[in-house]
Amino acid sequence: MELSLRSRLRAGDQSAFGELFDDHAQAVYGYAVRTLGDWAAAEDAVSLTFLEAWRLRAALHEDGESVRPWLFGIATNVLRNTARAARRHRAALARLPARDVVPDFADELVGRLDDSARLAAARRALARLRRGEREVFHLCVWVGLDYVSAAQALGVPVGTVRSRLSRARTRLRSLAAEELMEPGPGAGQVGDDRIEAVRSNQGKNR
């Protein structure tokens, strides 16, 4: 009888992990980029998620259907740690002497990127929620997990997922509108990679 994907993963079957990556890497990346607001950091988070999945493969239960809740539970922990490290990094940078910034057309270009502005505003609004509400919103709305799968990923009862999601949606309606009208100091952060890319191209063309 052919072994299930769960059994193959638990046994360390590399082809099974290839299937896992092919089936879920894009969804994990979307979850990460919306959570972190940084494309490069999201790519790192995807790598860390699948490395952790390999390391924790023995903890995957034999019983069950989709491995998606297990994988996104790992991704959630990776993103918590990544966000914590990013906060420490920003705090360290804030203690450094301020540098004069010479504006160029890249700043104006990034200012016109509506997708980045909206993502940044959404992230600022989400940041004002409690962590539990924020994670439930990410998994149920952005990732598309159902209540049961999100509960499995977070290790909480299904009723907790329902109540947290309801509170999150109610609060986000007003918070998102506020953030879109009054962009916060981190509004340009999502476009940092694009700024650097444009500046890099400027340097090459000189």
Tens of pLDDT, residues 77-86: 999 988 887 6
- Statement: residue 174 has pLDDT above 90: no
How many Cβ atoms sit within 10 Å of the Cβ of residue 174? 10
pLDDT band at 20 (very low <50, low <70, confident <90, very high): very high
pLDDT of residue 109: 40
Tens of pLDDT, residues 112-158: 445 666 777 777 888 888 989 989 988 998 888 899 999 999 999 99
| Between 102 and 118, the higher pLDDT residue | 118
Tens of pLDDT, residues 50-60: 999 999 998 88
pLDDT of residue 98: 53
Residue 62 makes CB contacts below 8 A (sequence gap 6+) with: 6, 7, 10
Fold of the domain built from segment(s) 5-93+119-181: Arc Repressor Mutant, subunit A (1.10.10)
pLDDT of residue 197: 46
Helix/strand number for the chain, H first, E second = 10, 0
pLDDT of residue 51: 94
- Statement: residue 193 has pLDDT above 60: no
Sorted by where each begins, the domain ranges of the chain are 5-93+119-181
Cβ–Cβ < 8 Å for 49, 78: yes
Q: In angstroms, rounded to a whole number, what is the distance separating the alpha carbons of residues 126 and 122?
A: 6
- Give 138's Cβ-side CA count (13 Å radius): 33
Which H or E run contains 197?
helix 192-205
